[in-house]
Amino acid sequence: MKFAHSFSQVLEEEDFPADWQAAAIRYRQLKKCIKKVQKELSELGLTAEILKSLVKQSGAMMASEEGESTPKPGTVQSFQPKLVLTIDAVDGIPLDINFSEETRRSLENLVRKNTQTTEVEDGFQSIEVGSSQGETRPACVRFGRSVKNIEITLCSDSEFFHLLTSELTSLEALQSRAEGEIKSNVVAIGGAVTGVAAPKSANSKSDLYPWREIFRIYVESGIFFSNRESENHQERTVEKAQEQLALFNSEIHRLGLGTKFKNPCSLHLLRRFIGVNMDVLRVMRFQAINKLAMTKILKKFDKRTALGAREIFPEFIASDSFLASHLARAICYTMSSSLLNLIPQLDNYLCPICSSISVKPVRLSCSHVFCVRCLVKLQRAQKRSCPMCRRDAVLEADSSNLDLSLLSFLKEYFPKEAKLKQQENEREVAMEQWKAVHNDIFGGPKDCVIS
Amino acid sequence: MSLPKRIIKETERLVAEPVPGINAVPHDDNLRYFDVTIHGPAQSPYEGGIFRLELFLPEDYPMTPPKIRFLTKIYHPNIDKLGRICLDVLKGNWSPALQIRTILLSIQALLGAPNPDDPLANDVAQRWKEDEPAAIQTARDWTRTHAMV
């Protein structure tokens, strides 16, 4: 199947909004443009084959750059693609082939000053923008022969790049619009979730626990980025992200988290939360298919004209925000800062020794926090250094090291865990006391050994 | 006595997110006893070898370090005939914030960087200092004989 066909089919099948459809790359039109370029070139006697051999001959292919207008959002700068042939003034044999615009800056200068001189010096080409206007520089002499530059303005080529640039600009505008919408949606959901999940000791209607569980599973699902260290937190492909989101959905369903809400608003918010993730996926899919169209059309352009556009355009694409990864990254950032982080997760408040909630939390002078039971055990074992940083801070700690504000925070946000840990601590202390008393009365366990 | 939360958590993470080149599986009947394998690091004389170790978490772990021993014979200045390992973090420099995975990583690193100045196996360390190329060749030979099956 031709790509043009499958491209329009995908655009139709996915339920992209009308303005998205309109902003999609006009692949067919660009293709027609390529035909025009081809025609124009062949009218000049420059078929793709001839151009290819010229470029090969001069070895200048890698150095040749086609200046593109900077993709500043909302503006399409005008420029004139030109083909510059350096030929021997005597016999007209081409010495070099080069595009007139080497860099963006020189392009802008060229457009502004409208004077160009191409010089060939010692076999290296360099472009000199006429610094003093009106002064004509003598054509350089190479190997004792005079050389001459011929400039060919390519009208249809400029049409192609104009079209492509404006396509990119509108895609970019669309993306930033979609990104803005999604972000404000995320922030709104965040605000609403904070409301229904706020810890209220008197009001039993708080949905703190189910929401915490939902966000924990969400983070674990690593939907847009891998959450595995071994995978370097790699970005997911659209397909993989879709798969992970489905996994997240089914996990929420399996645990029946939707039914655990006490506040009816929560269920609605959960649907919105899932919806916003679907929105991100849709933008990613749209960008991916457009990126593919872009790659295909540039490939076609090069094949038909041998003007080497692909060498310049990848940077062009990469330099702006056209990549979907930018979108995923930006939205994931908003997602964690304005939504996920609103509910503290237990993993961030565990004692590094016993892996339970740090109740009661003791903060050493080095600012590392441990639960009081583990600290007492360290002190009894006469361990001096902090388990995290080895600073001599353990033995000096006393009741003044209790972090009371952290304690009340933990009791507020993790009431169940804090209570359970408190009970465990008490049981452990009671056991120790019992053992001590037992040893006092019966003279220690050694005497119990029947010999 | 029931297994402390800390050990359960560590075991879960070891299974869910294993360290590359390291494998640690607890025994079904004793969850404090682990069968461990460590792959010899690349560019070391142990490259290509798979070394078996046993790891035991004592009653007061993590206040005291895990007990670890090589089961596969290995020619290394800091590992003796019985497989005992001379590594500071397994002794005085142990910290209860260290974990099974971090300790196993340290052992893997020790294979990559033998330290003959702090020897456990005196004869091996002696040889390592006197004729390093020969010692490395022996380590390679032992790896081939004992750690490749």
* Residue A347: closest C-alpha in chain B: B9
Within 23-82 of B, beta carbons closer than 8 Å to A belong to 62-63
Neighbour count for residue A141 (Cβ, 10 Å): 12
Verify whether the Cβ–Cβ distance B97 to A387 is below 8 Å.
Answer: yes
Enumerate the residues of chain B whose CB falls inside 8 A of the CB of residue A227: none
- Considering only residues B84 and A228, tell me which one the structure prediction assigns the higher pLDDT: B84
Buried b (16+ CB within 10 A) or exposed e, B118-132: ebbbeebbebbeeee
Put simply, whether B95 touches A (Cβ < 8 Å) is: yes
Q: Please, are residues A160 and A34 in contact by the beta-carbon 8 Å criterion?
A: yes
A62/B95 Cα distance (integer angstroms) = 57
SS3 A350: strand
Catalytic residue numbers of B, as ranges: 86
Q: How far is A361 from chain B (nearest CA, A)?
A: 16
ipTM rounded to 2 decimals: 0.88
Question: pLDDT value at position A328?
Answer: 79
Q: How far is B95 from chain A (nearest CA, A)?
A: 5
Sequence letter at residue B2: S
* Residue B20: closest C-alpha in chain A: A230
- DSSP annotation of B90: G
Q: Which of B37, B27, B31 is nearest to B6 (CA)?
A: B31
Tell me: pLDDT of A316 over 70: no
Within 350-369 of A, beta carbons closer than 8 Å to B belong to 352-356
Query: Binning pLDDT at 50, 70 and 90, where does residue A360 land?
Result: very high
| Interface with chain A: mutation pick from B1, B6, B101, highest number of A CBs within 10 Å | B6
Tell me the pLDDT of chain A averaged across its residues. 75
Verify whether the Cβ–Cβ distance A353 to B5 is below 8 Å.
Answer: no
In chain B, DSSP assigns E strands to 22-26, 33-39, 50-56, 67-70
Tell me: pLDDT of A406 over 70: yes
> Average pLDDT, stretch A384-409?
94
- Considering only residues A391 and A315, tell me which one the structure prediction assigns the higher pLDDT: A391
Question: pLDDT value at position A290?
Answer: 85
Percent of chain B with pLDDT over 70: 99
SS3 content of chain A, % helix, strand, coil (to 5): 55, 10, 30
> Average pLDDT, stretch B3-27?
93
Enumerate the residues of chain B whose CB falls inside 8 A of the CB of residue A230: 17, 20
pLDDT single digits (tens) A152-173: 677 777 788 888 888 888 888 8
Tell me: pLDDT of A183 over 60: yes
Verify whether the Cβ–Cβ distance A388 to B9 is below 8 Å.
Answer: no
Verify whether the Cβ–Cβ distance A354 to B95 is below 8 Å.
Answer: no
Q: How far is B6 from chain A (nearest CA, A)?
A: 5
Closest residue to A229, CB basis, from B5, B6, B17: B17
Q: Please, are residues B59 and B67 in contact by the beta-carbon 8 Å criterion?
A: no
Q: How far is A309 from chain B (nearest CA, A)?
A: 43
Query: Binning pLDDT at 50, 70 and 90, where does residue A10 land?
Result: confident
Specify the range with the lowest mean pLDDT, choosing from A35-49, A180-194, A333-347, A397-411.
A35-49
Q: Which of B21, B24, B2 is nearest to B112 (CA)?
A: B21
pLDDT single digits (tens) B98-114: 999 999 999 999 999 99
Verify whether the Cβ–Cβ distance B97 to A378 is below 8 Å.
Answer: no
Closest residue to B5, CB basis, from A230, A355, A377: A355
Helix or strand (DSSP H, E) at A67: none
Buried b (16+ CB within 10 A) or exposed e, B87-115: beebeeebbbbbbbbebbbebbebbeebb
* Residue A388: closest C-alpha in chain B: B97
Question: pLDDT value at position A69?
Answer: 35
Specify the range with the lowest mean pLDDT, choosing from A35-44, A89-98, A100-109.
A100-109
Tell me: pLDDT of A106 over 70: no
Which tokens sit at B67? 């007990």
| Interface with chain B: mutation pick from A354, A359, A423, highest number of B CBs within 10 Å | A354
Put simply, whether B96 touches A (Cβ < 8 Å) is: yes
Put simply, whether A377 touches B (Cβ < 8 Å) is: yes
* Residue A369: closest C-alpha in chain B: B97
Closest residue to A353, CB basis, from B17, B20, B62: B62
Verify whether the Cβ–Cβ distance B5 to A387 is below 8 Å.
Answer: no
- DSSP annotation of A118: E
Closest residue to A381, CB basis, from B9, B10, B63: B63
Size of interface A-B (CB pairs under 8 A): 34
A340/A214 Cα distance (integer angstroms) = 10
A241/A234 Cα distance (integer angstroms) = 11
Which tokens sit at A284? 């990613």
| Interface with chain B: mutation pick from A353, A366, A378, A380, highest number of B CBs within 10 Å | A353
Put simply, whether A374 touches B (Cβ < 8 Å) is: yes
* Residue B16: closest C-alpha in chain A: A228
Specify the range with the lowest mean pLDDT, choosing from A28-32, A52-56, A158-162, B17-21.
A52-56
> Average pLDDT, stretch A200-218?
83
Tell me: pLDDT of A61 over 50: no
Q: How far is B135 from chain A (nearest CA, A)?
A: 34
Verify whether the Cβ–Cβ distance A356 to B5 is below 8 Å.
Answer: yes
Cα separations in angstroms, A151 against A63, A98, A159, B18: 18, 10, 18, 63
Sequence-ordered list of residues with C-beta below 8 angstroms from that of A326, at least 6 positions apart, any chain: none
Q: How far is A387 from chain B (nearest CA, A)?
A: 5
Put simply, whether A390 touches B (Cβ < 8 Å) is: yes
Q: How far is B58 from chain A (nearest CA, A)?
A: 14
Enumerate the residues of chain A whose CB falls inside 8 A of the CB of residue B62: 353
Enumerate the residues of chain A whose CB falls inside 8 A of the CB of residue B9: 355
Question: pLDDT value at position A324?
Answer: 57
Question: pLDDT value at position A151?
Answer: 67
Question: pLDDT value at position A251?
Answer: 94
